[in-house]
Amino acid sequence: MEMTTDRGYLILHGWQNRRPPEHWQFWLASRLRRRGELVLYPQLPSPDEPVLEEWIAVLRAELAMLGDAERVVICHSLSCLLWLRHAAGDEAADAVDRLLLVCPPAPSALPQALGAFFPAPGDREALARSVRRRPELVCTDADPWCAEGAAGVYGDPLGTDVHVVAHGGHLAAEDGFGPWPAAERWALHGSFGPAPVAALV
C-alpha cells in the first residue's frame, strides 16, 4: 500500500520477544500499515540474550530509515530501558516527535546479565532531550516485572506523563493485550482519548 502520511513509527519489543502475532505490538503494526502508515517493527537480535550495543545499533539504523518524517516511537518492556540507554549515548540522533514507554521492567526483576540496560543517573535529562513532546509512560498496578510500581520507579524520576492500567499485568499478550485500541488511538492522535486512564483498553 502506498504510504499516505508524513510520519513514521518505530515499534520496539522486549526481552525474549519474537514479535508473536498475539501481541498488541504486532496487532498495532498491522493496523497502522493497513492505514498506509510507515511502520518499522524490527526483530531485535538475540532476544533471549540481548547485547545492548547490538540493540542500540538496530534502533539507530531504524530511526535513520524514518528520514525526515514525524517520528513516533513505541517501546515495550526492555526496549523502554533500551531507549534510555540510546538517549544517554553520545551518538543519540535528533529528538523524535513522540515517545510511548509501556511497562518498563525494574532492574530487580532482571538478571545481572542485562545490567547494561539498567537506568543510570542523568536519564531524566537525556530522555527529555530525546523527544520533542513530553514522553508518556503506560504501566499497571500489578506488573510482575516491576513489583515496585513503574509509576514510582520511572514516571516521577524521568518526568513522564503517567497512565496506570488497573490489573493489566505486564500489558502483554498473556495479560489479554492482543488488540489494544487505546494504543492505536495514541499512535494516530497523540492521545488516549476520553477513556479513563485506568481503562486503557
Confidence at residue 5, expressed as pLDDT on a 0 to 100 scale: 66
Residues 39, 133, 172, 181, CA torsion sign: negative
Residue 16 exposure: Cα atoms within 13 Å on the Cβ side: 4
Collapsing DSSP to helix, strand or coil, 9 comes out as strand
Rounded CA-CA distance 133/25 in Å is 22
pLDDT at 188 over 50: yes
Confidence at residue 68, expressed as pLDDT on a 0 to 100 scale: 86
User: Model-level pTM?
Assistant: 0.92
pLDDT at 163 over 60: yes
Any residues with CB less than 8 A from the CB of 140 and at least 6 apart, and which?
103, 150, 164, 165, 166, 167, 168, 169, 170, 171
Rounded CA-CA distance 93/95 in Å is 6
Average pLDDT, integer, range 48-77? 95
H/E element, 184: helix 181-189
